[in-house]
Chain A
Amino acid sequence: MSEGDESNSDEQGYVYYRDRPNWKDIEPIPQDDGPNPVVQIAYTDKFKDVYDYLRAVIRKGEKTERVLELTMDAIECNPANYTVWHYRREVLQELKKDLKSELEFAEETVLNEPKNYQVWYHRQKLVEWSNDPSRELYLTAEVFKDDSKNYHAWQHRQWTIRTYGLWSNELEFVDGLLKEDFRNNSAWNQRYFVIINTTGYTEEVVKNEVKYVIDFIKVAPNNESAWNYLTGILKGGRISDHEPVLKLIDSLRSQHVPSPFLLSTMIDVYEEEVANGKKESLEKAVKICEELGSKIDPVRKRYWEYTSRRLISAYGPLDST
């Protein structure tokens, strides 16, 4: 932490701004944290050097080529400093820079820092300014190669698709991701996003989607994401109106598949039946709750006990009691 500790300078060949002849005209401004600072950071010498000069040019309002370079160093030291990104955008506008190379810089930074809010926001601004969304689907797909559930990338992808109407190949893309990993909850969410904004969940679409998701559930009955999608697209309607779903449940049940999501959906079906006057389904639902709490899903024992009580108080009493 001591001033001028050269061992802290991380990169060989890096010349401090304070040693650069073309920066001699700038009086650096050190951070003023007062006499009794808290949560100080053990900045490297490079970090202090860069930010001392950045503070000075921002105070002066200088918007030049050399400031673009300085902001790049500042971003490298701390990519989460939102003011630096904002100032850089103002310099880019002031200098009427060609955005192509900036898009490349943002792309590189996105790939190095895929969970950084500021760089994704910067990227969005650049796409807006250049009115060129042509690389965004590719870029987000690149990010998904390392982390197919990266929230920022999905958010950016949805923004791009919605803003520029790039819906046409998205379902195909999602289908590819789901075939790679059907547990990818983000991809299921994206499927919902695409359909609700394009065809909508019409009777016909629901029918096809039910078939689509059932095929995935058959392969992995313990995949919560697929079950959530199934029940999600049926909301507003009744599960028991969908013959293929009832067949799926029967088939998995007859194989004694120990899936809490299967059993939970069975409870939903029984509840629909009870609400429709089929009194004997209440006892079946309560039995399933017991099975879940004691054997299949004991971590949620208390939730299943609660569900059982909720059903009895809503539709009970049980005939047998």
Chain B
Amino acid sequence: MSLFNSNSMSEVDAVKEEEEFVVKKHVRYFSRCLDILPTQCQSLDANRMTILFFCLSGLDVLDNLSVIDDQRGSEIIEWIYSQQVLPDQSDESSLSKCGFRGSSFLGVPHDNSKSPVSYPYDCSHIAMTYTALSCLLILGDNLSRINKPAVLTGIKALQQPDGSFCSTVEQSESDMRFVYCACCVSYILNDWSVVDVSLTADYIKKSLAYNFGFGQGPSLESHGGSTYCAVASLVLMNKLESTLTLREIERIKKWCIMRQLTGFQGRPNKPADTCYSFWIGATLEMLGASDWVDKELNVQFILSTEGEYTGGFSKWPKCHPDPLHSYLGLCGLSLTNYSQLKPISAPLNISQRAAEWLQSIRGNF
């Protein structure tokens, strides 16, 4: 906690506010989710990798990854690698299914990675591949056990003729979320050979709505989540300035800052919701405009959605915390340079520390 030279009212308030934020409470929340989720979370069964990501990255941003000791850390790394869908030597078509699955919900044996056999309907999901790689980076893994050509072939199989991506080879809706996942995977693996970058940028540009936010796709309503995914993808592809005019960038920044009420809303005339303190906050950060945010109001809103006894954050005050809002709420706070939290990398949505670890190993594969 910072020390102050003078004792003006606002500084006293700031001290009080920081005291109210109890790091340990949130550490306990993420630690608990890391072990077990309650029955109400059964619908997350196929997406457990994303929940793991929220928990690990949450503990990292809280500067408390140390609650996971070395042994537990390696166990978690083993679990993550056990979800890698690997090519089956006897089945050439299996390459396009590669990447990561979200959990073992299809009953693939835990040790399948030792001599991979392809199981019917077992395939990767692009959001799981992206979050699995992020989890490994957070835990300090050097990605040496990633079958890079296979993962990249899996990503390539998902790009659609309009430049967007769907999530699995079994087909699904395709939109900006999965564009972002594809960009994260390509960036982390330092290989853009499988993504048609100009087609992707074209899809993003076409999704810029008349009010200068981005929708999930062309002609869809602009939205905080898709605006983050669009801008972060352009940043990761290093295509921001070549895709958008300066005037467009100015207008996008304005659309974003107009989303602040106390916290941030995702669309005009909707209520504030904790997660947009990250989606919009991080977009403003990437566009160099984060100092426009009224931090005090933003922090107050995020803290008003804190689970008083349980830790974690929910979307609105007096609701039940969930892993997604808990993690994005913390990231929203971190973007305000909140003193007890580690800084994050806005485009990658992991801590700066984890992003630096990526830079240090990126030349090795």
Query: Are B221's CB and A34's CB within 8 A?
Result: no
Q: Which of B76, B173, B216, B294 contacts A299 (CB 8 A)?
A: B294
- Tell me if A294 is interfacial: C-beta within 8 Å of chain B: no
Q: How far is the CB of A299 from chain B (nearest CB, A)?
A: 5
Bound-complex Cα distance A33 to B51 (A): 16
Query: Are B37's CB and A34's CB within 8 A?
Result: no
Bound-complex Cα distance A31 to B159 (A): 31
Query: Are A117's CB and B294's CB within 8 A?
Result: no
Residues of A within 8 A of B106 (CB): 55, 58, 83
- Tell me if A109 is interfacial: C-beta within 8 Å of chain B: no
Bound-complex Cα distance A136 to B211 (A): 27
Q: How far is the CB of B291 from chain A (nearest CB, A)?
A: 6
Q: How many residues of B contact A (CB 8 A)?
A: 71
Of all chain A residues, the one with the shortest Cβ separation from B171 is A86
Bound-complex Cα distance A78 to B52 (A): 19
- Tell me if A134 is interfacial: C-beta within 8 Å of chain B: no
Query: Are B82's CB and A34's CB within 8 A?
Result: yes
Query: Are A32's CB and B172's CB within 8 A?
Result: no
Residues of B within 8 A of A193 (CB): 219
Residues of A within 8 A of B316 (CB): none
Of all chain A residues, the one with the shortest Cβ separation from B33 is A39
- Tell me if A151 is interfacial: C-beta within 8 Å of chain B: yes
Q: How far is the CB of A106 from chain B (nearest CB, A)?
A: 15
Query: Are B219's CB and A32's CB within 8 A?
Result: no
With A80-B43, A82-B46, A225-B269 known as contacts, the answer to whether A32 contacts B211 (CB < 8 A) is no
Query: Are A31's CB and B120's CB within 8 A?
Result: no
Q: Is the interface of A mostly helix, strand, loop or mixed?
A: helix
Query: Are B294's CB and A300's CB within 8 A?
Result: yes
1/0 per residue, CB under 8 A from B, across A160-184: the answer is: 0000000000000000000000011
Query: Are B268's CB and A225's CB within 8 A?
Result: yes
Residues of A within 8 A of B84 (CB): none
Interface extent on A, as a size class? 35 or more
Of all chain A residues, the one with the shortest Cβ separation from B296 is A299
Q: How far is the CB of B11 from chain A (nearest CB, A)?
A: 20
- A-B CB contacts (within 8 Å), total count: 193
Q: Which of B119, B220, B269 contacts A223 (CB 8 A)?
A: B269
Bound-complex Cα distance A82 to B72 (A): 30
Interface centre among B51, B79, B268 (most CB of A within 10 A): B268
- Tell me if A68 is interfacial: C-beta within 8 Å of chain B: no
Bound-complex Cα distance A55 to B120 (A): 10
Query: Are A299's CB and B260's CB within 8 A?
Result: yes
Residues of B within 8 A of A39 (CB): 33-37, 48, 51-52, 55
- Tell me if A42 is interfacial: C-beta within 8 Å of chain B: yes
Of all chain A residues, the one with the shortest Cβ separation from B170 is A86
- Tell me if A302 is interfacial: C-beta within 8 Å of chain B: yes
Which residues in chain A, 179-224, are within 8 Å of chain B measured between CB atoms? 183-186, 189, 192-193, 196-197, 223-224
- Tell me if B355 is interfacial: C-beta within 8 Å of chain A: no
Of all chain A residues, the one with the shortest Cβ separation from B173 is A121
Query: Are B44's CB and A41's CB within 8 A?
Result: yes
> Which stretch of A18-26, A228-236, A248-256 is in the interface?
A228-236
- Tell me if B309 is interfacial: C-beta within 8 Å of chain A: no
Which residues in chain B, 134-175, are within 8 Å of chain A measured between CB atoms? 167-168, 170-173
Query: Are A34's CB and B110's CB within 8 A?
Result: yes
Bound-complex Cα distance A307 to B10 (A): 27
- Tell me if B24 is interfacial: C-beta within 8 Å of chain A: no
Residues of A within 8 A of B51 (CB): 39
10 pairs of A and B residues whose beta carbons are closest in the complex = A232-B210, A34-B110, A55-B107, A36-B75, A228-B211, A189-B221, A183-B269, A29-B107, A224-B268, A303-B292
A-B contact pairs, 25 of them (CB 8 A): A31-B105, A36-B79, A39-B34, A41-B39, A42-B41, A51-B105, A55-B107, A58-B121, A78-B46, A80-B43, A82-B46, A82-B168, A83-B121, A86-B171, A186-B267, A189-B215, A224-B268, A228-B210, A232-B211, A235-B210, A299-B294, A300-B258, A302-B291, A302-B294, A303-B257
Known: A39-B36, A80-B43, A81-B46. 13 other contacts (CB 8 A): A32-B104, A36-B78, A42-B39, A43-B39, A59-B119, A80-B44, A86-B121, A118-B172, A151-B221, A185-B269, A189-B222, A299-B261, A310-B250
